[in-house]
């Protein structure tokens, strides 16, 4: 090949077959060298989770949603935590799985709101508020031990769980493969290392305080959470009833 | 006739026969601990006599762990075989030959449905034949009936007839008439919860086995615990949301109830009563799991209800006021939306509009306060209203006690998206929910 031709097509002197042979041998060598250290597909699959339907959050988290077999904590300082849980419950129940919700003593979930958010109410079990933390734990244990619920939500209100109680819940969720989501409205919250995911709902943002294998704190804009409320308002339905 | 004889190795109440009603309606219980079951026509339903005996034994061993059984042509033959070769079966019409090689002492067990009048009488007969040098049952069959009758009278005749397979014993159908009650008096009163629970578990197990045999469910179980001192009585009522006979569920309910009892005054007597109802028969698909999700949930609901918690499915209701627009049900029914109805008669038609149908589409907060909270003037001033005009006006029973609520959306100083209303009668703002 002339110098001119080589300048025009620098790679042309290497035949395709030669390249193929080289890459195959190199691959074989690499396989032989690193083979014992390679991980199987199952080992590199991220741990399973239940999507929340909030794309930015799901994309950021390793579990692509609320982690299964773990306990998550949502700190609702200025609202949004229930909506996020409801979104996830809608996806879970629509898939034919079961979800359970344990109320706090002062407020309750509105069935019409749940219906608007596409929650299959026939797959959502509602439990009235417990009289003490001890009873809350017992109810959670009973709910999990049925091996029926994929997602369990519990509104603690102003209450907080102790470290050993969280650990117990974590053990149970791991045993029964269920995603446990606790919601608290308390001001000073115990950020226990036993929570796999901690989200803090602030005025404008949601801060991811703790998430496995992710750089935290990470801030997300909260406005997406209320996006589904706006169409309802925009429809301009004003009912004058009587 | 083919008879299965079960020996429970301990004396029991005659009602124990009810445990085995699922194997045959013809059952007879005789003390001490002998159950005779006529399996002539039911063995094939269980896949043969062997399978039936195994199933009956496993039922018996749940309460009487050392129970044994045998099957033969006659009740006395089965009883004798049970003592000679437990858990064996003599093929039909081979009983006489099979038992002829058995030792003479087996005559003690040639009783069947009716026990020998006196064991001593049989002992004398056996001794007599031993003196003659006869020690096998087959060897005494050669004697005539008159020899037996002259020497031992009625008992002798009966033995001869049984040796020749002539005597007939018929097992009548068992009609369960005894009340589903269990009673226990404890010599050593119990003040420790695990011991009490263990005792009650046994009683429950027995009652549930009876319910199973009878084909019934328990609507309620009443446990009465009589204390040792001061004639104190604890009454516990276990009532699942739907009738059933799941042992585990009732034990859980019981355990839960017992934790609330003070056992300082020890328990001396226990009475457990079951209020039954007929079971619902359901044809299950072969491909469906034996315990359905609904059954699991029903158990859970019963358990939580027992602990004073309410549970169920949230069911939307067509009501104007948001706090009344839902109900809690144990069986979820799909909500049918309100629709205008049109009636056509001949060439005319009538439209009946469904008032408030649009309410089902109206925005509702995710969380509603159980009781609307009155807001003072300062709190109202701090709220940032999203509109000057109300978003929605709700008036219920205007002919009766209309409040006239004007609903607004607002942002709280913390940034919460709240739902509040202005009561036109009271001229007062109330916080009603959160778009949380």
Contacts of A110 in chain B (CB under 8 A): 322, 326, 364-368, 433
Cβ(A181)–Cβ(A74) under 8 Å? yes
Calculate ∠ Cα B359-B362-B366, nearest 5°.
120
**Tokens describing residue A78:** 């200025």
Q: Which residues contact B300 (CB under 8 A, 6 or more apart)?
A: A125, A142, A143, A146, B311
| Phi and psi at residue B358, to the nearest 5° | -70, -15
Residue carrying the six token digits 């907060």: B365
Q: Does A128 touch chain B (CB under 8 A)?
A: yes
Quote the CA–CA distance of B215 and A119 in Å, as a whole number: 39
Q: Does A13 touch chain B (CB under 8 A)?
A: no
Chain segment A47-101, per-residue pLDDT in tens: 889 999 888 899 999 888 999 989 999 999 888 899 899 999 999 999 999 999 9
Segment among A19-23, A176-180, B86-90, B234-238 with least mean pLDDT: A19-23
Question: Could you tell me where the DSSP H helices lie in B164-224?
Answer: 193-214
Cβ(A72)–Cβ(A47) under 8 Å? no
Q: B2 pLDDT exceeds 70?
A: yes
- Report the DSSP beta bridge partners of residue B233: B226
Helix (H) or strand (E) holding B245: none
Q: Which residues contact B274 (CB under 8 A, 6 or more apart)?
A: B180, B181, B207, B211, B218, B220, B221, B222
Chain segment A137-167, per-residue pLDDT in tens: 999 999 998 888 999 999 988 888 888 999 9
**Tokens describing residue A217:** 């704190």
Higher pLDDT, A208 or A226: A208
Residue carrying the six token digits 């064996």: B88
Identity of the residue in A107, A117, A239 whose CB atom sits nearest the CB atom of B368: A107
Cβ(B239)–Cβ(B301) under 8 Å? no
Contacts of B362 in chain A (CB under 8 A): 112, 232, 237, 239
| Phi and psi at residue B136, to the nearest 5° | -120, 150
Quote the CA–CA distance of B107 and B428 in Å, as a whole number: 96
Cβ(A183)–Cβ(A76) under 8 Å? yes
Residue carrying the six token digits 């596409």: A118
Q: How far is CA A94 from CA A50, A51, A86, B312, B432, in A?
A: 12, 12, 12, 18, 29
For residue B29, what pLDDT band results from cuts at 50, 70 and 90? very high
Cβ(B209)–Cβ(B14) under 8 Å? no
B326-329, strands of its sheet edge to edge: A218-221, A205-211, A197-201, A70-76, A179-184, A149-157, A98-102, A124-127, B311-316, B326-329
The ipTM, to two decimals, is: 0.76
Contacts of B395 in chain A (CB under 8 A): 240-242
- For residue B33, how many other CB atoms are within 10 A of its CB? 17
Quote the CA–CA distance of A202 and A206 in Å, as a whole number: 6
What pLDDT sits at residue A33?
Answer: 84
Identity of the residue in A107, A122, A235 whose CB atom sits nearest the CB atom of B367: A107
Å from B241 to nearest chain A CA?
Answer: 15
Helix (H) or strand (E) holding B157: helix B145-163
For residue A233, what pLDDT band results from cuts at 50, 70 and 90? low
Å from B45 to nearest chain A CA?
Answer: 34
Contacts of B335 in chain A (CB under 8 A): 115
Quote the CA–CA distance of B419 and B365 in Å, as a whole number: 7
Q: Is the pTM of this model over 0.80?
A: no
Q: Which residues contact B270 (CB under 8 A, 6 or more apart)?
A: B182, B183, B184, B186, B199, B200, B203, B223, B224, B225, B226
């Amino acid at each position: 090949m002339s110098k001119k031709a080589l300048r025009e097509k620098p790679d042309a002197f290497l035949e395709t077959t030669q390249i193929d042979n080289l890459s195959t041998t190199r691959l074989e060598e690499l396989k032989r060298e690193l083979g014992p250290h390679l991980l199987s597909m199952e080992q590199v699959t991220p741990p399973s989770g239940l999507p929340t339907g909030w794309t930015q959050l799901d994309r950021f988290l390793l579990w692509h949603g609320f982690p299964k077999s773990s306990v998550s904590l949502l700190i609702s300082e200025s609202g949004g935590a229930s909506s996020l849980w409801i979104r996830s419950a809608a996806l879970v129940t629509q898939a034919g799985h079961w979800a359970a919700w344990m109320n706090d003593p002062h407020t309750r979930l509105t069935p019409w709101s749940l219906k608007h958010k596409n929650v299959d109410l026939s797959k959502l079990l509602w439990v009235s508020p417990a009289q003490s933390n001890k009873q809350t734990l017992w109810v959670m244990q009973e709910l999990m031990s049925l091996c029926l619920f994929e997602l369990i939500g519990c509104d603690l209100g102003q209450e907080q769980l102790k470290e050993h109680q969280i650990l117990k819940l974590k053990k149970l969720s791991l045993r029964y493969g269920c995603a446990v989501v606790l919601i608290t409205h308390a001001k000073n919250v115990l950020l226990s290392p036993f929570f796999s995911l901690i989200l803090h709902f602030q005025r404008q943002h949601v801060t991811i305080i703790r998430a496995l294998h992710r750089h935290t704190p990470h801030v997300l804009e909260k406005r997406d959470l209320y996006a589904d409320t706006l169409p309802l308002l925009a429809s301009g339905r004003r009912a004058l009833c009587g | 006739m083919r008879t299965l004889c079960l020996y429970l190795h301990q004396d029991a109440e005659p009602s124990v026969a009810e445990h085995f009603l699922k194997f045959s309606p013809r059952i007879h219980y005789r003390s001490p601990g002998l159950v005779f079951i006529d399996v002539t026509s039911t063995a094939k339903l269980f896949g043969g006599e062997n399978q039936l005996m195994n199933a009956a034994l496993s039922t018996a061993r749940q309460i009487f762990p050392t129970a044994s059984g045998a099957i033969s042509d006659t009740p006395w033959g089965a009883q004798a075989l049970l003592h000679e070769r437990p858990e064996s079966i003599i093929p039909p019409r081979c009983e006489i030959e099979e038992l002829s090689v058995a030792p003479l002492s087996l005559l003690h067990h040639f009783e069947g449905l009716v026990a020998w009048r006196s064991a001593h009488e049989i002992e004398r007969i056996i001794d007599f034949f031993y003196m003659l040098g006869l020690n096998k049952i087959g060897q005494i069959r050669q004697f005539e009936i008159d020899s037996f009758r002259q020497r031992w009278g009625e008992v002798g005749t009966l033995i001869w007839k049984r040796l020749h397979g002539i005597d007939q014993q018929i097992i009548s159908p068992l009609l369960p008439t005894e009340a589903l009650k269990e009673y226990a008096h404890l010599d050593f009163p119990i003040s420790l919860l695990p011991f009490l629970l263990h005792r009650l578990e046994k009683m429950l197990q027995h009652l549930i086995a009876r319910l199973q045999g009878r084909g019934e469910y328990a609507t309620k179980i009443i446990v009465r615990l009589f204390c040792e001192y001061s004639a104190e009585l604890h009454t516990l009522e276990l009532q699942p949301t739907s009738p059933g006979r799941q042992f585990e569920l009732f034990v859980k309910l019981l355990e839960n109830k017992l934790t609330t009892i003070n056992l300082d005054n020890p328990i001396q007597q226990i009475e457990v009563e079951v209020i039954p109802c007929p079971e619902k028969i359901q044809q299950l698909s072969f491909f469906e799991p034996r315990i359905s999700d609904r059954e699991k949930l029903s158990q859970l609901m019963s358990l939580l209800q027992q602990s004073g918690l309410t549970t169920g499915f949230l069911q939307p209701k067509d009501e104007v006021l948001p706090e009344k627009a839902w109900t809690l049900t144990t069986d979820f029914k799909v909500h049918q939306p309100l629709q205008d109805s049109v009636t056509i008669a001949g060439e005319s038609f009538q439209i009946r509009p469904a008032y408030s149908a649009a309410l089902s589409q109206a925005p509702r907060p995710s969380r509603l306060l159980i009781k609307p909270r009155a807001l003072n003037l300062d709190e109202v001033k701090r709220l940032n209203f999203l509109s000057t005009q109300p978003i929605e006006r709700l008036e219920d029973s205007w002919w009766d006690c209309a409040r006239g609520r004007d609903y607004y959306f607002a942002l709280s100083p913390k940034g919460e998206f709240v739902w509040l209303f202005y009561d036109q009668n009271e001229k007062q703002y109330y916080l009603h929910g959160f778009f949380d």
